[in-house]
Amino acid sequence: MWKWLRILTILLFVIFILPGLIYLGLAIYYQDSFMYGTWINGIYCTGKTIPQVAAELEEQFSYEKIRVITPVNEEVLYPERIGVKYDFITALEEYRKEQNPYNWYRHLTGQREEKMFFPKISFEEEQLKSWLEDTQVYRNNLNLKEDQLHIVWSEKGYVLQEEKEVILNITSAMEKLSEALTQGQEEIDLGEAGCYFYREETWEIQQTRERYEKIEKFQSGELIYKIKEVEKKIQSKELGSFLETDENNIPKFTKNGEVIVSKERVREFISQLAKDYDSWHNYQFITHDGKEIFLTKGNYGTEIHQKKEVEFLMKWLFNREETVREPIYAKDFTYQDSNRLDNTYIEIDMTKQKMFYFKDSQKILETDVVTGCVNKGMATPEMVCYVRAKSRNAILRGPGYRSFVNYWVPVHGGIGIHDATWRNEFGGNIYIKSGSHGCINTPLENMEKLYEMIEKGIPVIIHY
């Protein structure tokens, strides 16, 4: 019977008491260490105490530096410069409390429990302040210049040039740097963090700003001069250039604080506009063989009426009612509303005694001709003119002659293009001794073709 009693006692111990002792023993073991399967920041922590894990985490943690961006430059703050310390203990203790040692058996499933902790970062505030006071931006605060605001001329017209001293708020900078350090940031922009302020503007600066607002309003807007098919935009720079200025090229103002427009500068602008775009006695032309010539005579082209355009522009600068302006012309005759000669025209080369007809930039006709007689003082003048009319079976009259022509195309005064059936030859040097009275004599066959192709208004370029 004693034998069975011992066996029963052993069984009771194994079944009830031993598991309890094991459970209680492990619960005591995990009172000071982490549960099975615990990983923190990639470190295996099972059975390790808080100080042990904290030491490993501090050894693994790296916080090399923080870039501090200022309006002046970039500074680098190294943690060791301000006595930075890292503390994982607090976070580990909180986590350790969550792991109930009496529930250790729940961690035996083999499931890995991972956690990530950031240390509590501390530093010496006096050392941080000392570092901040050693930065360039802080040293600049010790020798601040007066704020300046100037109106200056630029490629875009008048602009404001500002020289404004930015002042570091060291209290705010300390707060923002402290926050960045405790969060382990690697970069902080003190400007974006609101650590700077500016001085209040002086009365002189406020007055300059108010004056510039009036200049800027004057410069705003746009006027497009539409000169036939060409467009010339008047924008900020041109508008600003119309203002009356002092010896430093700064706009003047009336006693009432309004800008003053210089009529002389407006006049100069219109004069330059006419110089650039007038085609009356002002033609550059590329000949059939690629030569660039300049012609200053004739009856073809446009000439801007400068006086009337000055009057218009002086009014427009104050009312800005129009956005597109077709100028008033003192002289205006162009083919199909165009003042260019690069599409459809007649070209007469008196050196080669040739005439060409170009349509849409394509040469349609080429023929020999005879121009005005040089030796008799009747040479055909160089000029840009146009087809004034077309007629058939005309009688040409002049001092000592009366001639019948089948086709007559007047281009300037008494000069025109016509057939000359009385001639057997054309081209060469005939024009020197036996040329016409100034007209362009053309073989009948080619004159007939030309007559059928051209129309009134087509430009005619006559040159050597």
| Amino acid identity at 233 | K
The CA-atom distances, in angstroms, between 149 and each of 213, 244, 251, 331 are: 13, 20, 15, 48
Domain range list for the chain: 1-28, 220-337, 345-463
Among 118, 120, 1, 136, which Cα is nearest to 68's? Answer: 136
Distance, in Å, from the CA atom of 279 to the CA atom of 261, rounded to the nearest integer, reads: 29
Distance, in Å, from the CA atom of 447 to the CA atom of 368, rounded to the nearest integer, reads: 11
Regarding the domain delimited by 220-337, which CATH topology (the fold level of the hierarchy) does it fall under?
Ubiquitin-like (UB roll) (3.10.20)
What pLDDT is attached to residue 340?
Answer: 57
Bridge-partner residues for 76, per DSSP?
67
Q: What angle do CA 451, 367, 344 make, to 5 degrees?
A: 55
What pLDDT is attached to residue 104?
Answer: 46
Q: Count CA atoms within 13 Å of residue 70 on its CB side.
A: 27
Bridge-partner residues for 53, per DSSP?
none
- Do the first three CATH levels of 220-337 and 345-463 match, i.e. the same topology? no
Distance, in Å, from the CA atom of 39 to the CA atom of 154, rounded to the nearest integer, reads: 65
What pLDDT is attached to residue 23?
Answer: 46
What pLDDT is attached to residue 22?
Answer: 46
Distance, in Å, from the CA atom of 202 to the CA atom of 149, rounded to the nearest integer, reads: 10
Q: Count CA atoms within 13 Å of residue 76 on its CB side.
A: 5
Distance, in Å, from the CA atom of 133 to the CA atom of 170, rounded to the nearest integer, reads: 8
Bridge-partner residues for 38, per DSSP?
113
| Residues 79 and 63 sit within 8 Å (Cβ to Cβ) | yes
Successive 10-residue mean pLDDT values, the chain, 464 residues: 57 50 49 75 82 85 88 89 88 75 54 79 91 88 89 93 89 92 91 90 94 94 90 91 94 94 96 93 91 93 95 94 93 72 88 97 97 96 95 92 95 96 97 96 98 95 96
Distance, in Å, from the CA atom of 38 to the CA atom of 104, rounded to the nearest integer, reads: 12
**What would the two tokens of residue 186 be?**
């690697």
What pLDDT is attached to residue 91?
Answer: 81
Distance, in Å, from the CA atom of 49 to the CA atom of 427, rounded to the nearest integer, reads: 116
What pLDDT is attached to residue 102?
Answer: 47
The CA-atom distances, in angstroms, between 13 and each of 8, 18, 27 are: 9, 6, 19
| Amino acid identity at 240 | G
CATH 2.40.440.10 for domain 345-463, yes or no, is yes
**What would the two tokens of residue 342 be?**
């690069």
Distance, in Å, from the CA atom of 41 to the CA atom of 56, rounded to the nearest integer, reads: 10
Distance, in Å, from the CA atom of 441 to the CA atom of 403, rounded to the nearest integer, reads: 12
The residue to which tokens 């005064």 are assigned: 413
Q: Can you give the chain as a three-state secondary structure string?
A: CHHHHHHHHHHHHHHHHHHHHHHHHHHHHCCCCECCCEEECCEECECCCHHHHHHHHHHHCCCCCEEEECCCCEEEECHHHHCCEEECHHHHHHHHHHCCHHHHHHHCCCCCEEECCCCEEECCHHHHHHHHHCCHHHHHHCCCCCCEEEEEEECCEEEEEEECCEEECHHHHHHHHHHHHHCCCCEEECCCCCCEEECCCCHHHHHHHHHHHHHHHHHCCCEEEEECCEEEEECHHHHHHCECECCCCCECECCCCCECECHHHHHHHHHHHHHHHCCCCCEEEECCCCCEEEECCECCEEEECHHHHHHHHHHHHHHCCCCEECCCEEEEECHHHCCCCCCCEEEEECCCCEEEEEECCEEEEEEECECECCCCCCCCCCEEEECCCCEEEEEEEECCEEEEEEEEEEEECCEEEEECCCCCCCCCCHHHHHCECCCEEECHHHHHHHHHHCCCCCEEEEEC
Among 63, 68, 79, which Cα is nearest to 188's? Answer: 68
Bridge-partner residues for 347, per DSSP?
356, 461
Question: Cα–chain-centroid distance for residue 439?
Answer: 55
**What would the two tokens of residue 153 be?**
């001329």
